[in-house]
Structure 1
């Protein structure tokens, strides 16, 4: 069953009365933008952000979300909420300034009817809103259309989130209790300042899920682990992902120069570094809950890689090797490698690693011959193990 999401973005942060909690920087974007991406990943088909004033940061967040295909709108008053809220689906309510692990979003999305994410009253849960003598609201609530519109009809100037939560409590909504470990580790938190948001973001980045799809040989065993180590530091410095991706493209183009000057080992090393930078950019997108590109931007650095391999070999074997590697790269990026294991997928990065090693030991031609055998075996494996 589809559902909508209502995000609150009106409370001031603890850093400045002029700033909003929702505009705190979090995982390379604003906090409310991250919440919207979580709701969309959980299955929300429309997202409404309830605001008291429309700031440039909120407008830019909406523009970025819309550009990524996430339907989102800013709502300023109860009249607009009554007009825009869906009357045939449940609504997932997200508290202002809350950081909740994606698993809890997914769990609430699977439920139907009124439900509350709660935590037992303790010192760790003190920042959250108390709902009774023993529990506090942990920032997520799923409410039915009847409860939502029944509350909107009588809400006046009251706080929508807290009024809906109290109405859900009075209606006997089911409760999903958050483990205390999630509070202690920061997987569920309420942030009011940028310092608190930074701490919560570090927790998110350190516990971020790995790719759920099969990667190529070099990517799985070398590039992805290195990217997981480097990306949190870049995320904390707020480096835009596109700038990282462009840096990888520029380095890939520069790597062709030493290859043209007959320094293949230097060129291969620079191409591997360019592919690592591209992998880091993908990891930054993953941490920010954005889908890595699958269009031309995803293939610029691999294009330089296969071009460098062809240029360094300067023969029919090198050209054929580059073409086969390009095919494997497209299959790997578009997740069309079937049931092949990572070590079976011989990507351009894998070939560069092998060619770099054979060049250093003085077996340049042998590296191309072995790479050709590996990529042929890889293509055959992908075809033979293709799922129906």
Structure 2
């Protein structure tokens, strides 16, 4: 069952700049954007952000979320919340500046009724809000419509999130306890400054989440571990994924020059590096919980690599090979693989690796012929292993 989410973006950060916690840089975006993407991944179908003042940074964050198809709205007062909040679904409440591992968000997303994510009282949980003598609120709660609107009917100047949590405690809401290790290692934290945000981002994004693979061959078995490491480094340097993807396209275009000058192997090596950069950009999007691109930006780098392979071969068979591999690239990106395993798919990096080995040994034409047979076998695997 779907639900809505309420985020908060009003508390100032501890940095000297005096900005909002919600606008701190976190995993290639603002912190509130990351919270919203976490909620959507857990099943939320709309996002409400409680704000005291609408800043340009918040407006831009809303625009970016909306561009990705996420329904998000800024709410400045309780009257608007009473009017817009859904009356037939639960609410996922995320406190201002709270970041927890996606597994905890998913857990509350699948819960039913009033539920609180809590931490046992200790030195590690000291920054969190105390709810009784033994536990503190970890910044995440699932609230029923009855409790939400019963609280909204109260009169006075109060903090919505804390008031809802106190009402849930009084009502005897179910509690889920965060392991102490998550608090110590930063996978559940209240972020107050940019330095803390960087450390928590590194801890949270280091946890791999299960996902359907969208790579094959060399990209899956060789480039993926390198892309994860490079992506984590680029994220700490706050390099946007789009810039990395543009850099990959530029490098692939530059690699066409040595190929035109008949320096085939150096050009192919540059193409491999361009594909690695493109995969690193994809991993940056994964870390930021953004959906993988499926438009022209996703296919520009492999298409340029296949153009280079066609120019190097200068024959009809190389053109046919490039077209067939491009079909496999589209099938990978759109996850239409049937039951084919990653090693069964001939990808651009795998093709380049075969041609580099063949060219280094003096068997370039034979490598092209072998690659064509491998491409036909890959297409056959996608078709024949498709489930009925």
Matched, 1:164 2:164: yes
The answer for the alignment partner of 1:243 in structure 2 is: 243
| 8 Å CA contact retained: 2:100, 2:204 | no
The answer for the alignment partner of 2:254 in structure 1 is: 254
Partner secondary structure for residue 278 of structure 2: helix
What is the TM-score normalised by the length of structure 2? 0.98
Q: CA deviation at 1:361?
A: 1.9
Partner secondary structure for residue 337 of structure 1: coil
1:158-200 Cα deviation digits (max 9, x unpaired)? 0100000000000111111111111111111111111111110
| 8 Å CA contact retained: 1:272, 1:349 | yes
1:35-62 Cα deviation digits (max 9, x unpaired)? 0000011111110000111111111100
TM alignment of 1:337-376, pairs within 5 A: 337-376=337-376
The answer for the alignment partner of 1:111 in structure 2 is: 111
The answer for the alignment partner of 2:377 in structure 1 is: 377
| 8 Å CA contact retained: 2:214, 2:333 | no
Partner secondary structure for residue 277 of structure 1: helix
TM alignment of 1:313-324, pairs within 5 A: 313-324=313-324
What is the TM-score normalised by the length of structure 1? 0.98
Q: CA deviation at 1:155?
A: 4.2
The answer for the alignment partner of 2:41 in structure 1 is: 41
Partner secondary structure for residue 150 of structure 2: helix
| 8 Å CA contact retained: 2:27, 2:287 | yes
The answer for the alignment partner of 1:121 in structure 2 is: 121
Query: Over aligned residue pairs, what C-alpha RMSD do you find?
Result: 1.1
The 2-side partners of 1:38 and 1:320 are apart by: 43
1:253-276 Cα deviation digits (max 9, x unpaired)? 111111111111011111111111
The answer for the alignment partner of 2:74 in structure 1 is: 74
The answer for the alignment partner of 1:307 in structure 2 is: 307
Q: Which moved more, 1:252-261 or 1:62-71?
A: 252-261
Aligned residues: 388
Unaligned residue ranges in structure 2 (runs of 5+): none
| 8 Å CA contact retained: 1:214, 1:341 | no
TM alignment of 1:1-388, pairs within 5 A: 1-16=1-16, 18-209=18-209, 211-213=211-213, 215-388=215-388
The 1-side partners of 2:210 and 2:366 are apart by: 35
Partner secondary structure for residue 306 of structure 1: helix
Q: CA deviation at 1:214?
A: 5.0
The 2-side partners of 1:300 and 1:158 are apart by: 52
The 2-side partners of 1:12 and 1:331 are apart by: 46
Q: Which moved more, 1:201-210 or 1:157-166?
A: 201-210
Q: CA deviation at 1:210?
A: 6.0
Q: CA deviation at 1:134?
A: 0.6
The 2-side partners of 1:281 and 1:164 are apart by: 39
Distance 1:196 1:155, change over 3 A: farther
Runs of 4+ in 1 over 6 A off after TM superposition: none
| 8 Å CA contact retained: 1:248, 1:277 | yes
Q: CA deviation at 1:317?
A: 1.5
Partner secondary structure for residue 141 of structure 2: strand
| 8 Å CA contact retained: 1:92, 1:142 | yes
Q: CA deviation at 1:205?
A: 2.7
Q: Which moved more, 1:2-11 or 1:361-370?
A: 361-370
The 2-side partners of 1:342 and 1:10 are apart by: 46
The 1-side partners of 2:387 and 2:14 are apart by: 53
1:71-121 Cα deviation digits (max 9, x unpaired)? 001111111111111111111100110111111111101112111011111
The 1-side partners of 2:2 and 2:262 are apart by: 59
The 2-side partners of 1:31 and 1:111 are apart by: 24
| 8 Å CA contact retained: 1:21, 1:192 | yes
Partner secondary structure for residue 170 of structure 1: helix
1:104-156 Cα deviation digits (max 9, x unpaired)? 11110111211101111111111100101111101111111111111011142
Partner secondary structure for residue 387 of structure 1: coil
The 2-side partners of 1:356 and 1:130 are apart by: 62
The 1-side partners of 2:160 and 2:273 are apart by: 50
1:218-256 Cα deviation digits (max 9, x unpaired)? 111111111011011111111121111111111111111
The 1-side partners of 2:253 and 2:155 are apart by: 60
1:5-64 Cα deviation digits (max 9, x unpaired)? 000111111113731111111001110110000001111111000011111111110010
